Amino acid sequence: MTATANAAALALGDDALVLSHRLGEWAGHAPVLEEDVALANIALDLLGQARVLLSLVGDEDELAYLREERAFRNLQLVEQPNGDFAHTIARQLYFSLYQRLLYAQLAVTDGEFAGLAAKAVKEVAYHQDHAEHWTERLGDGTAESHERMQRACDALWRFTGEMFQPIEGLDIDWQALEASWMEAVTAVLERATLTMPAGPRAGGWAAGAGRQGLHTESFGRMLAEMQHLHRSHPGASW
Amino acid sequence: MTAVTADTYEAVFEAAVAADERIEPRDWMPDAYRATLVRQMAQHAHSEIIGMQPEANWITRAPSLRRKAILMAKVQDEAGHGLYLYSAAETLGTSREELLDKLHTGRQRYSSIFNYPTLTWADVGAIGWLVDGAAITNQVPLCRCSYGPYARAMVRICKEESFHQRQGYELLLTLSQGTPAQHEMAQDAVNRWWWPSLMMFGPPDDESAHSVQSMAWKIKRHSNDELRQRFVDICVPQAEALGLALPDPDLRWNEQRGHHDFGAIDWAEFQDVLKGNGPCNEERITQRRLAHEEGAWVREAAVAYAAKHQAQHAKPGEATA
């Protein structure tokens, strides 16, 4: 692979790896057993994608466990802590819509990621469905769930602009992608009786530099937990 | 016409059990049979979902992406097993909500093994090999249990459990053959999980309150001690192949019996853990209760949404009806 293709694989692979890790933190804590199953299922799909993408670049475990924070290229959105269930769902909604639209475009190009994207887009369609349905149920459920869902959508809004920063090596119409994403989010939030969040979507303080290896504070702690055991036994096989 | 009396029902039930036929949800069954099954199936379901915790404890620290994927899939399967078993228990006229409430308020139990902590990565392997191994030894005979829905749930569960067990064994083998520190980690885990695994078969036969009746009803097929012996006999050669020692100085082959003799189990510890005084009883039930309580608003939202949207969808239908 070329250097730009490597960088692109890292960006997409890190997104999947980090979000998968966050979803893994839900195991045994979900509001109903069905959601323990669903969240683990989505986490596994994402981990599978991450493994394929990172393996294109090098050794998946070296890349996951031995890089430091500044070398990760994931979006800041996916590293955000789980928060309550609404917060997790808002993160899933924003990201799965993005990933679906991005992979749908990649799947029809003849680039290096076409095969992978064609497979992943089927999984991501399920993730999107799950996130949309929960956004609607929470948004149009009780007064409390409505308020929590709105708060979550608002809180994560400032991390959504970074998704449309072009990734070198990917043949994507980023403007069209952003327009389709906005349209899709608007439609879901409307069905969910929620208000479109206001305010900047990028450029404000920290939001939007994940692709450059600049992350938010909780990410370092997440990596410390994820990498601790692997780093404690240099060279060991597991 | 013959008068159908309680005795007739009882006789039909006894004959079906004697002929190894399956009892199904709509069949008549003695109240005590129903109560025993609800208790056992609920405890089994609760064990699956409490059992997610000690393993989920290591998901975020799994040392390779392959192991992380395997562990996530396993914990997901356990939630699925919980769902099968609650559904099977519901065929007896109870509900998942009711059973969960009994778990959360300490009126129903889960397997004592899950009150032990997972202190190192090797514990994940020891749970797979020993805890799942003991569970399978217990559960394979349940595939022939007299109550149909339970037996059928067990067929599905046992297939997945044996897969997990092999993966746990393979994890331990990798550690045992790895660096000295990894080998030591594996041995330490086996030392801590061996005796609690033997306790999973329940009290000795002469102290087991429910055994005789459960065997007569063909809910149970073998006694606690019989299954425990079977498990020990299976584990000894596996431990040798792993290159790990079982922590029992009295463990040796008995030519005359054709079985391994093994040391005395610390039944005081078992009783203590059952009473709620094990190392993690408090944490396990608190986490379960918290997940349920903190998820209440989500479940309420789903119910409110369904009610609103069912009402909306029902309107056109009602107009034409």
Q: What is the DSSP string of A156-195?
A: HHTTSGGGGSPPTT----HHHHHHHHHHHHHHHHHHTT-P
CB-side neighbour CA atoms (13 Å) of A139:
23
For chain B, what is the radius of gyration of the CA atoms?
22
| Residue B307, amino acid | A
Taking a C-beta distance cutoff of 8 angstroms, is the pair A23, A68 a contact?
A: no
pTM exceeds 0.90 for this model: yes
> Residue B208 has what pLDDT?
82
Facing residue for A37 by CB, picked from B80, B295, B301: B80
Question: In this structure, is residue A39 part of a structural domain?
Answer: yes
Tens of pLDDT, residue by residue over B185-237, are: 999 999 999 999 999 999 999 888 788 899 999 999 999 999 999 999 999 99
Question: In this structure, is residue A237 part of a structural domain?
Answer: no
Contact A238 B174 (CB under 8 A): yes
Domain count across chain A: 1
Question: In this structure, is residue A104 part of a structural domain?
Answer: yes
Question: In this structure, is residue A108 part of a structural domain?
Answer: yes
Facing residue for A32 by CB, picked from B63, B75, B299: B299
> Residue B302 has what pLDDT?
98
Query: Nearest to residue A218, comparing CAs of A101, A72, A122, A76?
Result: A76
Question: In this structure, is residue A205 part of a structural domain?
Answer: yes
> Residue B321 has what pLDDT?
39
Higher pLDDT, A204 or A216: A216
Contact A36 B76 (CB under 8 A): yes
Taking a C-beta distance cutoff of 8 angstroms, is the pair B91, A52 a contact?
A: no
Q: Residue B317 above 60 pLDDT?
A: no
pLDDT bracket for residue A199 (50, 70, 90): confident
Q: In B, residues 61-100, which contact A (CB 8 Å cutoff)?
A: 61-69, 72-73, 75-76, 79-80, 82-83, 86
Chain A contact present for B59, CB below 8 A = yes
Question: In this structure, is residue A238 part of a structural domain?
Answer: no
- The CATH number for A76's domain is 1.20.1260.10
pLDDT bracket for residue A86 (50, 70, 90): very high
Q: What is the DSSP string of A48-92?
A: HHHHHHHHHHS-HHHHHHS--GGG----HHHHS---SHHHHHHHH
| Strand, helix or coil for residue B23 | strand
Taking a C-beta distance cutoff of 8 angstroms, is the pair B260, B252 a contact?
A: yes
- In terms of residue numbers, what domain contains A118? 3-232
Tens of pLDDT, residue by residue over B233-263, are: 999 999 999 999 999 999 999 999 999 999 9
Query: Nearest to residue B29, comparing CAs of B191, B186, B219?
Result: B219
pLDDT bracket for residue A208 (50, 70, 90): confident
Question: In this structure, is residue A124 part of a structural domain?
Answer: yes
